[in-house]
Amino acid sequence: MKPIRKAVFPVAGLGTRFLPATKAMPKEMLTVVDRPVIQHVVDEAREAGIEHFIFVTGRNKAVIEDHFDKQVELEATLERRGKDAELAELEDSLPGPGQTSFTRQQAPLGLGHAVWCARELVGNEPFALLLPDMVMQDEPGCLKQMLDTYAGLDEPANVIAVEQVPEDQTFRYGIVGVGEEVGRAFRITGMVEKPAPGTAPSNLIISGRYILQPEIFSLLAEHQTGAGGEIQLTDAMLRLAENQSFYGYHFRGKSFDCGNKIGFLSANVSFALARPDIAPEFRVALKELLEAE
Ligand code: UTP
């Protein structure tokens, strides 16, 4: 089985649910505690052993490229001031030279189109896809768990992280149909993007982490539009499933949809409560706020 070396991060969405914060700043740079959302997701990919980080960007997203670059003057200042911990933190959070690539989607035609824009950078090898809206909290991270499962499969298949939602919420998501179980994974029997209420094949949602085979690109190249008039990744995956296996993987840990306000605020609370340097004081502040309500 070919190893997964590359990860794609589609960051070309408009982030309209966070206006006006996202008027001039990408939503991926909103912070969960003290790290941008995109940093949390890149960290998850680095932990899983990913060697090359491909960002599909759009207008107003140049700051993401700057974020993953060395800040020579800042580092020199930190060194002069003896701020060793901050310096180490900056160095730790940076992929190495030549490990990042950036390409433009040009127009936000849908997630499927954003993934297709990465085709030349990915080439003819399987790859990971991480939607930066979803921030996961667990050790090991979701992608590492998925890669371990992928390594145990006896065929070059596709793997999608899934999680449960209440039945009445399925219309908001991509939903999978559930077949034969294989450890923590199962064979996917079907997929549907944002099914009409009452028609979903299960309550398991596609939750923003994928391992995909490169054959997905030729299907995305047809630029067929689906739900919401967008070029949907789910539709191309459904067609790929006619020839290749797809597995769903129940990941361990919490997930936060940072593309919406409640998910984003919950992520901040949960990550702050998990930080030994912040949690004791924050717990008291949070309690006071809740009691004063
Ligand atoms: P969303 O559906 O959350 O869209 O995209 P959005 O535009 O980012 O956010 P809202 O709804 O306007 O608030 C899911 C993921 O797919 C990427 C987004 O950046 C996000 O990571 N995406 C979506 C693209 O890169 N390009 C697109 O054309 C659409």
How does pLDDT run across 236-263, given as a tens digit for each residue?
999 999 999 999 999 999 999 999 999 9
> Which atom of ligand 1 is found nearest the CA of 18?
13
Sequence-distant (≥ 6) Cβ neighbours of residue 148 within 8 angstroms: none
Yes or no: is domain 6-152+206-292 CATH 3.90.550.10?
A: yes
- Ligand 1 pocket member 112 (CB < 6 A): no
pLDDT digits (tens, 9 = 90+) for 51-77: 999 999 988 788 999 999 988 888 899
Does position 135 have pLDDT exceeding 80, yes or no? yes
Whole-number Å distance between alpha carbons of 51 and 6: 6
Residue owning the nearest CA to atom 2 of ligand 1: 13
The per-residue pLDDT for 229 is 87
Does position 230 have pLDDT exceeding 90, yes or no? no
126, two tokens:
């399987």
Whole-number Å distance between alpha carbons of 97 and 120: 20
> Which atom of ligand 1 is found nearest the CA of 108?
28
- Ligand 1 pocket member 263 (CB < 6 A): no
> Which atom of ligand 1 is found nearest the CA of 11?
19
132 or 293, which is more confident:
132
Residues in the chain, overall count: 293
Mean pLDDT of 211-225: 94
> Which atom of ligand 1 is found nearest the CA of 132?
21
What per-residue string of b and e applies to 62-97 under the rule 16 or more CB within 10 Å gives b? eebeebbeeeeeeeeebeeeeeeeebeeeeeebbee
pTM metric for this prediction:
0.94
> Which atom of ligand 1 is found nearest the CA of 109?
28
- Ligand 1 pocket member 131 (CB < 6 A): yes
**Ligand 1 mutation pick, 59, 113, 131, 209, max ligand atoms within 8 A of CB:** 131
- Ligand 1 pocket member 11 (CB < 6 A): yes
pLDDT digits (tens, 9 = 90+) for 184-203: 899 999 999 889 998 999 99
The per-residue pLDDT for 49 is 96
Domain range annotation of the chain: 6-152+206-292
Does position 93 have pLDDT exceeding 90, yes or no? no
Distance from Cα 266 to the centre of ligand 1, integer Å: 20
Residue owning the nearest CA to atom 3 of ligand 1: 259
